[in-house]
Amino acid sequence: MIIIMLGAPGTGKGTVGKLLSKALGIVHISSGEIFRSYVKKQNELGKEIETYIQKGALVPDELAIQLLERRLKEPDVEKGVILDGYPRTTKQARELDKLLQEQGKKVDIAVNLSLSDKDIIERITKRRTCPNPECREIYNTEFKPPKIKGICDKCGTKLIIREDDNEETIKNRLKTYHSISENLIEFYKNKDILYTVKVNIHSENTSQDIAKEVEEYLNVK
């Protein structure tokens, strides 16, 4: 099972992807976490990636494809994978199809989470992240606060505000996303594997509900 999580930054792709990962028993891979793992190494490649992240720009196709190809060769993806944040362009989508075809696989469904820019900015600026690489739990000071302010419920690590979780960077990221998202969504729509879910952060439609909806859709598909 190969699942693609689509949607602008802050739509909840990561949370829904992790819930589906647990429910379906397949690995969840976030392109953002892959990129940040290289940034932490502070080598030449990491510094190059960091310049794009800090500006809210996309990591170039060639580099993103190269890093994902390495990741898809690891043994834990044999049963399937949920890709969160990749592909982000139609070029990346076509290259992904080629990589999967070489392995006798294909994308089964592209889940598109739709949320207004206003709600996205509100959600991200209130986001708090656990920096523990074994946890990476995400909170929101209004909609999903930790039990103890500033402390991760799961591992006790002090929560952080990511450097790119500021309004200026978010607006740049959204501008970039919208400039390329229509073509990517159309790409998967034409393949008849697009499933769109409208997200509303002010309703009771939680990430658990969305994950359950997608799981049920897969069961009857």
Q: Answer yes or no: are the C-beta atoms of 89 and 96 closer than 8 Å.
A: no
3: part of which helix (H) or strand (E)? strand 2-7
Per the residue annotation, which of 55, 162, 171, 212 is the catalytic one? 162
Per the residue annotation, which of 18, 36, 126, 127 is the catalytic one? 127
Per the residue annotation, which of 13, 36, 128, 136 is the catalytic one? 13
Establish whether 127 is a catalytic residue. Answer: yes
Per the residue annotation, which of 18, 36, 88, 126 is the catalytic one? 88
Query: What gap in Å lies between CA 127 and CA 10, rounded to an integer?
Result: 9
Establish whether 105 is a catalytic residue. Answer: no
Per the residue annotation, which of 36, 123, 126, 173 is the catalytic one? 173
Establish whether 162 is a catalytic residue. Answer: yes
Q: Answer yes or no: are the C-beta atoms of 196 and 114 closer than 8 Å.
A: yes
Establish whether 136 is a catalytic residue. Answer: no
Query: What gap in Å lies between CA 213 and CA 27, rounded to an integer?
Result: 19
Query: What gap in Å lies between CA 130 and CA 160, rounded to an integer?
Result: 6
Amino acid at 35: F
Establish whether 173 is a catalytic residue. Answer: yes
Q: Residues with catalytic annotation?
A: 13, 88, 127, 162, 173
